A and B are shown apart, each in its own frame.
Chain A
Amino acid sequence: MDVLERIREQVENNPVIIYMKGTPQMPMCGFSARAAAALQQTGQPFAYVNVLTDREIFENLPRFANWPTFPQIYIDGELIGGCDITLELLEKGELQKMVTEAVEKAKAKDDPAQP
């Protein structure tokens, strides 16, 4: 599969996903560490991709959404930004709302019986 197609699937199939250096448990970059910690603070599940172990994604993610740096955080299929923006949204209380809504929306899609 084409790498951009692969990224698109990841972004669309996960309500919240972070592309980071390292993992949430063992981040390899201060900015990635902070962004992942912010997502953890929302208490909602999120997916991650360690760009250090996937060279193809490391090299191509910047052109996927025309965003040149890592980490990148996508909520409900949309790029919300990198570390600085994620922390700002967390401080304003907006991150919690965005993440929760995206997770709920994905749940509703998976289980159409629930309104």
Chain B
Amino acid sequence: MSVQERIEHKLRETLRPSELEVVNESGMHNVPPGSESHFKVTVVADTFEGLNLVARHRKVYTALAEELAGPIHALAIHAYTPQEWEAVGRLAPASPPCRGGDKQAAS
């Protein structure tokens, strides 16, 4: 299973989302072609109701703890309740361009 598939699988299992989009954004960064290191997750779930953003992101981090300790280098998270998702027009913000810091961090 690819890293992307593992992310999707684990988030579906733990959060039971009504919407889930996992985008591999590694191509935007300073990594070899075909890498699975930088991801953007947009997740819409009832379970986020009444939780602040820190608590929502922690749920995602907990579900993906294994991947974060390994292959995932960057993870953008956009977590909504179904009502909030409608309110933002079903569109999550775009991720920023790379600034080269990963290369330096790894050196």
Which A residues have a C-beta under 8 Å from some C-beta of B? 21-22, 27-34, 51-52, 58, 66-69, 79-85, 87-89
Q: When the two chains form their complex, are residues B61 and A68 in contact, meaning their CB atoms are under 8 A apart?
A: yes
**Interface on B for A, CB 8 Å cutoff?**
53-54, 57-58, 61, 65, 68-69, 74-78, 93, 95-102, 104-105
Residue of B nearest to A26 (CB): B99
A83 to B75, CA, bound (A): 10
Task: Contact check, B101 vs A69: say whether CB atoms are below 8 A apart.
Answer: no
Instruction: Given the known inter-chain contacts A52-B101, A68-B61, please indicate yes or no for A87 contacting B93, CB distance below 8 A.
Output: yes
Taken together as a complex, chains A and B put the C-alpha atoms of A56 and B66 apart, in Å, by 22
| 18 residue pairs from A and B, CB less than 8 Å apart | A27-B101, A28-B99, A28-B101, A29-B74, A29-B98, A30-B96, A30-B97, A30-B99, A31-B96, A32-B99, A58-B105, A67-B61, A69-B75, A80-B54, A81-B53, A83-B76, A84-B77, A85-B54
Known contacts A52-B104, A82-B57; is A22 also within 8 Å of B99 by CB?
yes
Contacts of A22 in B (CB 8 A): 99, 101
The winner among A28, A34, A84 for most chain B CB atoms within 10 A is A84
Tell me if B96 and A88 are in contact (CB < 8 A): no
Give the contacting residue for B76; candidates A33, A79, A84; CB below 8 A. A84
Q: Determine which residue in A34, A80, A82, A87 has the highest number of CB atoms from chain B within 10 A of its CB, and name it.
A: A82
- Which of chain A's residues have a CB closer than 8 A to the CB of B77? 84
Partner of A33, one of B58, B61, B99: B99
Contact of B53 among A21, A33, A85 (CB under 8 A): A85
Contacts of B58 in A (CB 8 A): 66-67
A84 contacts across to B, CB distance below 8 A? 53, 57, 76-78, 93
Residue of B nearest to A82 (CB): B57
Given A68-B68, A83-B76, CB of A30 within 8 Å of CB of B54: no
* B residues less than 8 Å from A85 (CB atoms): 53-54, 57
Tell me the bound Cα distance from A67 to B54 in angstroms: 9
Q: Is the CB of B54 within 8 A of A29?
A: no
Which of the residues B54, B69, B104, B105 comes within 8 Å of A81, measured between beta carbons?
A: B54
